[in-house]
Amino acid sequence: MLDIQKIRADFPILQQKVNGKPLVYFDNGATSQKPQVVIDAISKYYQEINANIHRGVHTLSQLATDAYEIARGKIQNHINAKHAHEVLFTSGTTFGINLVANGFASILKPGDEVIVSHLEHHSNIVPWQMLCEKTGATLKVIPMNEKGELVMAEYDKLLSDKTKIVTVNHISNALGTINPIKYMIDKAHEVGAAILIDGAQSVPHLKPDVRALDCDFYAFSGHKMCGPTGTGILYGKEAWLNKLPPYQGGGEMIKEVSFEKTTYAELPHKFEAGTPHIAGGIVLGTAIDYLNEVGFENIQQQELELLAYATERLSEIEGLRIYGNSEAKTSVISFNIEGIHPYDIGSIIDKLGIAVRTGHHCAQPIMNFFGIPGTIRASFSFYNTKEEIDALVDAVKKAQLMLS
């Protein structure tokens, strides 16, 4: 069992008032809050070892390089990658997905197929549409059902020897559905296709084991898992990363440059052009240490309790509909109240100190499926409490009274 008050004391932002009310932060799906150890580690880096990495012979450059590579190793262990050079530092999930989609432009031919799902964030749709436009490949979409789940029987039918890559999120940001990715990975491999998992919404809640999953790529963002914004990881199997061309050209990613011919550096540097977010990468390691100290079993237990409690309490409200009720679901509740625009509810409860997300959550195809412009999304983290859920329910009831 977690000592929630002790955990909450680790997050200075949670102690403050917003609009004169204690902050209730339920927008964790957009970005998580940061514990003091992460905030301190950022200033410690700039105060003590700031230097550019992989280039200098001087002491600070070596200290910064070592710290950066130690962080890479921590992330390798965390996701159980076979090699450290399969762990690429990126600026976030979006960058990682674009890197892979761009690489596949050199592989795909007209007539080839790319499979995405109806449950994706725009950043796991648009790069693949751009890829298909560039190459003449066709985009296929795995449909969803009313519960907010992907229809596996339809996925099975879409797969064929034309499929070159499948891309799907581990957990849906808009509905919280946990997709059956192990099944999907094995099925993609049966037809010889690669598969990318968008882990943006899974890494705050669970520890992915990329080797047990056997996925080809796994992309995620640091800022949703207590780390700094502008950080992320793309895991790729060594063979795939060797096969794909570099994404960006520049310093760091070359072996030798001449005007006649340039040769590229070994992994991971081939994909890490330019000066990276050095402090961010190092501190992502600190954030992962913090989450592991809290413990993912504890995190899941707390979050599932919050999900069950919030589902029950919100269901008391007349005219409230929850979208996405898969049995495999993480701590996200997307809902609407009959006759009221989600934005209006969001604005009123903000005045009461409650931060939720309203809108289409960068997942317009899901909103179109339900025939709605958007939802109110409350996404809970392990540092949230049942008392905060009570405050949400009271605030939503108040807003409903005011607006109806």
Distance of CA 47 to the CA centre of its chain: 30
Residue of 32, 76, 117, 123 interacting with ligand PMP (CB under 6 A):
123
Q: From the list 163, 201, 330, 381, which residue makes contact with ligand PMP (rule: CB under 6 A)? A: 201
Length of the chain, please? 404
Residue 344, judged by CB atoms within 10 A of its CB (0-12, 13-18, 19+), counts as middle
Residue 302 engages ligand PMP in binding (rule: CB under 6 A): no
Rank residues 221 and 400 by Cβ distance to ligand PMP and give the closer one: 221
Stretch binding ligand PMP (CB under 6 A), from 176-184, 197-205, 253-261, 277-285: 197-205
Q: Quick check: 281 binds ligand PMP (CB under 6 A)?
A: no
Q: Does 32 bind ligand PMP (CB under 6 A)?
A: no
Candidates 74-82, 88-96, 145-153, 303-311 — which segment interacts with ligand PMP by CB under 6 A? Answer: 88-96
| Residue entry with tokens 């059902």 | 145
94: contact with ligand PMP by CB under 6 A: yes
By CB under 6 A, how many residues form the interface with ligand PMP?
13
Q: How far is CA 284 from CA 195, 230, 262, 289, in A?
A: 25, 10, 32, 9
User: How is 341-395 classified by DSSP, letter by letter?
Assistant: -HHHHHHHHHHTTEE-EEE-TT-HHHHHHHT-S-EEEEE--TT--HHHHHHHHHH
Between 221 and 331, CB nearer to ligand PMP: 221
Q: How far apart are CA 370 and CA 147, in angstroms?
A: 11
Query: What is the spatial distance between Cα 188 and Cα 360, in angstroms, rounded to a whole number?
Result: 29
Smallest distance from ligand PMP to CB 125, Å = 10
Burial class (CB in 10 A: 0-12, 13-18, 19+), 57: exposed
The CA distance from 210 to 79, in Å, is 6
- Say how far apart CA 242 and CA 321 lie, in whole Å: 48
Instruction: Choose which of 173, 177, 358, 381 interacts with ligand PMP (CB under 6 A).
Output: 173
Q: Does residue 198 touch ligand PMP according to CB under 6 A?
A: yes
Query: Does 65 participate in binding ligand PMP (rule CB under 6 A)?
Result: no
Closest approach of ligand PMP to the CB of residue 32, in Å: 11
Cα–Cα distance, 170 to 117 (Å, whole number): 11
Can 226 be counted among the known catalytic residues? Answer: no
Would you count residue 375 as binding ligand PMP (CB under 6 A)? no
Neighbouring CB atoms inside 10 A of 301's CB total: 14
Q: Among residues 132, 215, 226, 362, which one is catalytic?
A: 362
Among 87, 200, 299, 320, binds ligand PMP (CB under 6 A): 200
Helix (H, G, I), strand (E, B) or coil at 154: helix
Q: Which of 72, 74, 118, 121 binds ligand PMP (CB under 6 A)?
A: 121
Interface ranges with ligand PMP (CB under 6 A) = 92-94, 121, 123-124, 169, 173, 198, 200-201, 221, 362
Catalytic residues: 362
